[in-house]
């Protein structure tokens, strides 16, 4: 079921906290729909062609089970609640992080939201420290006509690697990760301008 822009604005008025722009608003409405177990709203906000990536223990695939209406694998997963602690835009993504109610499970989500307010991609990380970096100005100083993609995909070892500037734009909250109570792996999500 797809929603019109006006219907989406009604849905989005449910939870206006921490709103920075329309894309963060869509993601917050998504969490509110998850919290209230409103499947129609969830499926109205999420594209039917959603691309979903997951990193973490397979038992923590709560969102997959919700999106596909799969039966919970254990009694704990049926009652899992995503509690977002922050939601903000890091173009082209909306990054959200949070925990479960007991703060024993940490999660981070990276969303892509279309211009018409539909979530098209979800990258989900459980008990994983996430760092988001932006690659800017990739230049091959010996041959400026060679792009970063050309140099990296070239089979020739004589092609010099491009010089790229990268900026850290977001890092998982240490205070949330500390509640997990164990060492967690770290991943880097790269955004290229």
Confidence of residue 178 (pLDDT cuts 50, 70, 90): confident
Asked if residue 127 lies in contact with residue 85, where contact means CB atoms within 8 angstroms, the answer is no
Confidence of residue 149 (pLDDT cuts 50, 70, 90): low
Q: For the stretch 58-79, what's the b/e string if a residue is b when 16 or more beta carbons lie within 10 angstroms of its beta carbon?
A: eebbbbeebbeeeeeeeeebee
| Rounded (5°) CA angle 107-72-55 | 30
Please give the model's pTM, rounded to 2 decimal places: 0.73
* Closest by Cα among 121, 127, 131 to 30: 121
pLDDT tens across 50-69, in order? Answer: 999 999 999 999 999 888 87
| Mean pLDDT on 101-121 | 93
| Mean pLDDT on 160-187 | 78
**Per-residue pLDDT at 118:** 96
Q: What percent of the chain has pLDDT over 90?
A: 37
Whether 175 has a pLDDT exceeding 60, the answer reads yes
Whether 113 has a pLDDT exceeding 90, the answer reads yes
* Closest by Cα among 4, 34, 59, 182 to 122: 34
Asked if residue 51 lies in contact with residue 67, where contact means CB atoms within 8 angstroms, the answer is no
The span from the CA of 111 to the CA of 123, in Å, is 6
Residue 62 φ/ψ region, left for φ over 0, alpha for ψ in the -120 to 50 degree band, beta for the rest: alpha
CATH number of 5-192: 3.10.450.50
Confidence of residue 85 (pLDDT cuts 50, 70, 90): very high
The span from the CA of 113 to the CA of 17, in Å, is 18
């Amino acid at each position: 079921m797809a929603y019109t822009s006006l219907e989406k604005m009604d849905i989005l008025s449910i939870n206006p906290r921490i709103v920075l722009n329309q894309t963060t608003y869509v993601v917050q409405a998504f969490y509110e729909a998850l919290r209230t177990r409103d499947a129609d709203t969830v499926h109205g906000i999420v594209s039917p062609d959603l691309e979903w990536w997951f990193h973490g223990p397979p038992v923590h695939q709560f969102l997959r089970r919700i999106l596909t209406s799969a039966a919970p694998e254990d009694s704990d997963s049926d009652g899992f609640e995503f509690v977002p602690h922050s939601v903000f835009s890091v173009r082209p993504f909306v990054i959200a992080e949070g925990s479960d109610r007991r703060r024993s499970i940490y999660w981070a989500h990276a969303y892509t939201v279309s211009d018409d307010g539909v979530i098209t991609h979800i990258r989900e990380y459980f008990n994983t420290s996430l760092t988001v970096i932006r690659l800017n100005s990739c230049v091959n100083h010996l041959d400026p006509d060679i792009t970063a993609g050309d140099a990296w995909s070239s089979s020739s070892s004589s092609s010099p690697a491009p010089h790229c500037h990268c900026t850290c734009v977001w890092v998982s909250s240490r205070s949330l990760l500390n509640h997990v109570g164990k060492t967690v792996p770290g991943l880097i999500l790269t955004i290229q301008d």
